[in-house]
Amino acid sequence: MAEELKFPTGLGTSDAESISLLGQDLAADLMGKVGFGELAFWLVAQRRPSPGEVRVFEAVLVALADHGFTPTAIAARLTYLSAPDSIQGAMAAGLLGGGSRFLGVTEDCGRYLAAALRDGRTAEEIAGSGERIPGLGHPVHKVQDPRTPVLIGIAKEEGLYGPHLRLLEGIAAVHPKKLPLNGAGVCGAALADLGLPVEMLRGFALLARAAGLLGQIAEEHRRPIANQVYMAVDRNAVYEP
């Protein structure tokens, strides 16, 4: 007899009478009792976060939700213009733009700091290396990213200011170019200090941006601008055979 197939999971399952999630009864134990941010943390970390961890985690989600007409937002709006019947396509278009220049810095910084801590590198060594350091510098906030002191302050208030944030601040303090810490990088350091896997950090940034993109699409529905963007590019295109 062929061996019975098994596909183990510790997340969710259901039967005719109930739905289980993370070992809890979804309807009785979670709905109305657990916030979405707390649940997202729990799903990835496989442990329920403390109230302080939830506060830091949700501050990160808020910090990354929306920054105006970024490429991710424009992509979502233009896709919605092209296919208003496919809101999932518009959402996906925006999320697919989360890379090394936008949103990806959160994971890049977390990975960089984790590797530096693992290798025992000091802030002085890193700052003097001449290498590109994710989390330093911002194209708009040249002096200070307004999110940075707030995130660091919340982490300190909750006793969650850990080695990743400490190293990132140390690097910025001794870096010869005196570049400001950007919010996305600080978010990555804060998430790493919560013990979340650095390989998942971009996913949290995308989770946050999903809310922002939905807001962008809703605004596009109420007050459309995507056709103007499209026509501005189309009418000013220069054909060079």
Q: What is the CATH number of the domain that holds 109?
A: 1.10.230.10
Number of domains in the chain: 2
Q: Is residue 38 part of a domain?
A: yes
pLDDT at 2: 61
pLDDT at 179: 86
> Which structural domain, as residue segments, surrounds residue 146?
105-198
Q: Is residue 132 part of a domain?
A: yes
Q: Is residue 165 part of a domain?
A: yes
Q: Is residue 226 part of a domain?
A: no
Four-CA torsion 143, 146, 150, 153, nearest 10 degrees: 0
Residues 112 and 185 in one domain: yes
Total-model pTM: 0.92
Determine the 3-state secondary structure of 155 from DSSP: helix
User: In the chain, where do the E strands start and end?
Assistant: 12-14, 19-21, 24-25
Q: Is residue 85 part of a domain?
A: no
Residues 43 and 123 in one domain: no
- pLDDT per residue as tens, the chain (241 positions): 567 899 999 899 999 899 999 999 999 999 999 999 999 999 999 999 999 999 999 999 999 999 889 999 999 999 999 999 999 999 999 999 887 777 788 999 999 999 999 999 999 999 888 888 898 776 666 678 899 999 999 999 999 999 999 999 999 999 888 888 999 999 999 999 999 999 999 999 999 999 999 999 999 999 999 999 999 999 999 999 9
Q: Is residue 92 part of a domain?
A: no
Examine the fold and report which residue of 25, 48, 71 is the final residue of a domain before the chain moves on: 48
Q: Is residue 25 part of a domain?
A: yes
**Chain position carrying tokens 């213009």:** 81
